[in-house]
Amino acid sequence: MVDFDAGTVTTIAERLFGEVGLPPAVAVTVAIDEATPMARAQIESIDPAVIGVEGGALENPKRIRQLSEARVVDVLGLLFHQLRDRLDPTFGAPPVGDELPLPHKVAWEVYAAGRVAALGYQAQRQRRLYHFRNRHGFTDAADAAFERLWTGRDLTWSEVAGLSDQAAAQATVTS
Amino acid sequence: MRRSLPVAELARDGRFEQASIMDRLTDPRAAVNVRKASAGTRRPALRAGQPGAPDAARSLMHGIFTGEIQALEGAGRTCWDFELGTGERQVPFALKLDMARQCWDEARHVEISVKLGEWMGTEIGEFAESTILYEAACNDDPILRLTGVNRALEGLAIDIFNTMREFGQATGDPVLEFCEDWMLADEVTHVKMGSDWLRRLTAHDPDRRDRALEFQKVVDKLFSYGGIRGDDDDSPVRLARRFRELAGFDTAEIDEIADLSRQAGRERAERVAARGRPPAVRSADVHPIGADLHSERMAR
């Protein structure tokens, strides 16, 4: 249904695996659902480590059903960082699945994407800022929290969630 | 200066890539979405609470941006392509003035859309461009152009801009809300211009008016994108009834557009069902140095 080359995905994933610093003993399965144009991507399980990706997340937005290497980096880079976080006992234990509130999820994505950017990859900072503002308000407080998450290193889950909560508390949304 | 510029000669730099709307409508992977919709689990992409909503808004905004470029090009062509006069392939001077006014508006919309793209973190050319709007503006009958572009496509713009405006309100985005509201006002004017000229130029030619309205129906149905634009609560793009009324649509016309959308959705579901189930699962095992990494292809 799509023209995705498993070899290209694997090559990028191998490189990111090393750059992110995942433990060498960890075996990671990247399961790509090519039958859907939707774009959900998440860590399905920790042990064994499984990342589930809907094909639309890796698709070239200019060429339908073609692979985008930039998107592979964006998706796997972010999720590998989050997997490393989950495997690190000093990080803490974020909730899983639907128990993870959306603002916290987005804040954690910012923290992960910022580290992808620090590796030298194009990580679409403004896009991540727009996502963050959507969940935490279009305020100076939200922008400041975003900056701390984007540039943060060795943060704990408690710190990530705390920054999210502080930013969201300043939001005023009219509906 | 030539008349009737073909779509293949539109001026675009290397950032832009064009895609056929039929590629997307006939995407075999759409089977999954349509089956989910049939099962009652379709969730609109542009609702603030949806996790993917910001990216859906970005993609839609880029579509608006390329649409505005084509609307500018289309209005400009309509201003130039026809001789002055009262014949079927001629137009009155006042119509050319209205098209010139529309060019002014659309150029401003292009600028606003570029700024909104920057605001949302989208690069120019990040997404493919569909040229269907300009193609609808290539008809050599000025009345069909106005019904196809000003009533059908600008009518769709009313629906989309209203959806984006509401999204901006729901997420507390003052920039998006304000800009979409600003552009929405212009689109109401453009649609009204189309409605008014249709009425005036076909006042003594009901057959021509019927042909024009039939063409409008074709465009309206195509631009419901297989039922994505509709009148139902779970329609990702909702028909903006009140703004369409301001633009000169009556209730019967709006109801017909809603029916066309449902029809398009049913037809799309039937096409997908006729294609059958996705192919069987294939898997590829890869063993890189230092880690066991498997990439599997799976179809749910």
Instruction: Tell me the sheet residues that pair with B237.
Output: B229
Q: What CATH number has the domain bearing residue B58?
A: 1.20.1260.10
What is the domain range of residue B185? 44-275
- The answer to ipTM > 0.85 is yes
H or E segment to which residue B74 belongs: helix B53-81
Residue B52 inside a domain? The answer is yes
Higher pLDDT, B261 or A68: A68
Residue B15 inside a domain? The answer is no
C-alpha–C-alpha distance, residues B274 and B264, integer Å: 15
Which residues fall within 8 angstroms of residue A89, CB to CB, at 6 or more apart? none
How many domains does chain B contain in total?
1
Alpha helices in chain A (DSSP H): 6-20, 69-87, 102-118, 125-136, 140-151, 157-169
Burial class, A27, CB count within 10 angstroms (exposed 0-12 / middle 13-18 / buried 19+):
middle
Which residues fall within 8 angstroms of residue A118, CB to CB, at 6 or more apart? A153
Residue B6 inside a domain? The answer is no
The three-class DSSP label of residue B296 is: strand
- With CA atoms as reference, the chain B residue closest to A132 would be B54
Residue B29 inside a domain? The answer is no
Q: B276 to chain A nearest CA, in Å?
A: 12
For residue A72, CA distances in Å to A11, A14, A57, B221 come to: 10, 12, 8, 35
pLDDT one digit per residue (tens) for chain B, 300 residues: 888 888 889 999 999 999 887 777 778 786 555 555 545 445 555 888 889 999 999 999 999 999 999 999 999 999 999 999 999 899 999 999 999 999 999 999 999 999 999 999 999 999 999 998 888 888 889 998 888 888 888 888 999 999 999 999 999 999 999 999 999 999 999 999 998 999 999 999 999 999 888 888 888 887 776 677 788 777 777 888 888 888 888 888 888 888 888 888 788 777 767 766 554 333 333 333 333 333 444 433
Whether B276 has its CB under 8 Å from any CB of chain A: the answer is: no
CB contact under 8 A, B54 and A130: yes
Residue B241 inside a domain? The answer is yes
Would you say residue A173 has pLDDT above 80?
no
Token representation of residue B153: 């496509």
C-alpha–C-alpha distance, residues B91 and A55, integer Å: 50
Which amino acid is located at B27 in the chain?
D
DSSP state of B203: T
A11-28 pLDDT, tens digit each: 999 999 999 999 999 999
Residue B112 inside a domain? The answer is yes
Q: How many residues does chain B have?
A: 300
Q: What is the pLDDT of residue A63?
A: 92
Which residues fall within 8 angstroms of residue B258, CB to CB, at 6 or more apart? B230, B231, B239
Are B101 and B49 in contact by the 8 Å Cβ rule? The answer is no
User: Can you tell me which residue has the tokens 């703004």?
Assistant: B243
Which residues fall within 8 angstroms of residue B105, CB to CB, at 6 or more apart? B186, B189, B190
CB contact under 8 A, B288 and A37: no
Q: How many CB pairs under 8 A join A and B?
A: 153
C-alpha–C-alpha distance, residues B123 and B16, integer Å: 11
In chain B, residues with a C-beta closer than 8 Å to the C-beta of A113 are none
User: Can you tell me which residue has the tokens 């919309």?
Assistant: B109
Is the full-model pTM beyond 0.90?
no
CB contact under 8 A, B291 and A14: yes
Q: Could you check whether the bond before residue B288 is cis, i.e. omega within 30 degrees of 0? A: no
C-alpha–C-alpha distance, residues A16 and A80, integer Å: 8
Average pLDDT over residues A66-88: 96
Are A52 and A42 in contact by the 8 Å Cβ rule? The answer is yes
CB contact under 8 A, A34 and B299: yes
